[in-house]
Amino acid sequence: MKLLFDFGGVLVDLDKQRCIDSFARLGFDIRPFLGTYRQAGPFSLLERGEISVPEFCNELRRLGCQAETDAEIVRAWEDYLTEVPTERLDMLLKIKQHYSVNCLSNTNEIHWHQAEADFFQYKGHGVGDFFDHVFLSCRLGLEKPAPELYAKVVEGLGVPAHEVLFFDDSEVNCEAARACGLQALLAPADSKWFHYFDENGKLHLP
């Protein structure tokens, strides 16, 4: 069994309002582009890897963002992510003693660079110590819940689809994964997905 975890909302905590406020200080209303499980407009293009970070920043300025530098826009977008609590990092390390642990995320190069630099540097570990494979929408050119994305992930993991157990905080994404043959469990925020595991990191399904 190979385990596959979503990133945003499952592992990393999000603060939508902080991000909205940060962009408001740059004279830009991000709310029309900020979805619950996927983004819109240039934010979606960034998450599919269809535009670069400089192109993304230029597009926001064209849409009215008053930031003078790309760095200001990057910092405002980074404010969407807050932290991966240490209890989740410790749990992932325990789980990895028993299973192949992997990540699948609708995300972008800005947020993933932030994750590598800030969230998975823990007790001498780096992101590669937590995950065997990382599948990012911005590098695969596809976003959940596209069936083609799950097919690419299964191919990358090298096992039959039914041997992959996916944890995501969106039931839509879970249903799409099941339709592609994967097993999937809804993983609520605030570490509530811990109840799928015992204290040693072994699966303990109801």
Decide if 201 is inside a domain.
no
Decide if 23 is inside a domain.
yes
**pLDDT confidence of residue 172:** 96
pLDDT per position as a tens digit, 169-183: 999 999 999 999 999
**pLDDT confidence of residue 35:** 78
CA distances from 145 to 22, 46, 111, 142, 168 (A): 29, 17, 20, 9, 11
Decide if 202 is inside a domain.
no
DSSP 162: G
Among the candidates 28, 56, 78, a domain finishes at 78
- Rounded CA-CA distance 177/189 in Å is 19
Token pair 């939508």: residue:
16
pLDDT per position as a tens digit, 118-161: 999 999 999 999 999 999 999 999 999 999 999 999 999 999 99
**pLDDT confidence of residue 37:** 72
Among the candidates 78, 96, 120, a domain finishes at 78
**pLDDT confidence of residue 47:** 95
CATH code at position 37: 1.10.150.240
**pLDDT confidence of residue 101:** 98
What predicted TM-score, i.e. pTM, was given to this entire model? 0.94
The CB density around residue 70, as the number of other CB atoms within 10 Å, is 15
DSSP 73-106: HHHHHHTTB----HHHHHHHHHHHTTSEEEEEE-
pLDDT per position as a tens digit, 2-60: 999 999 999 999 999 999 999 999 999 999 998 777 788 999 999 999 999 999 999 99
Q: Helix 70-78 and helix 16-24: axis angle, to 10°?
A: 160
- Rounded CA-CA distance 9/185 in Å is 14
CATH code at position 127: 3.40.50.1000
Find all residues with CB under 8 Å of 199, minimum gap 6, and list them. Answer: none
Decide if 167 is inside a domain.
yes
Q: What is the arithmetic mean of pLDDT over 72-85?
A: 98
Q: What is the arithmetic mean of pLDDT over 94-115?
A: 98
SS3 content of the chain, % helix, strand, coil (to 5): 45, 15, 40
Among the candidates 78, 105, 129, a domain finishes at 78
As for how many domains the chain has, the answer is 2
Q: Residue 112 belongs to what domain range?
A: 2-13+83-196
**pLDDT confidence of residue 189:** 84
Q: What is the arithmetic mean of pLDDT over 55-76?
A: 97
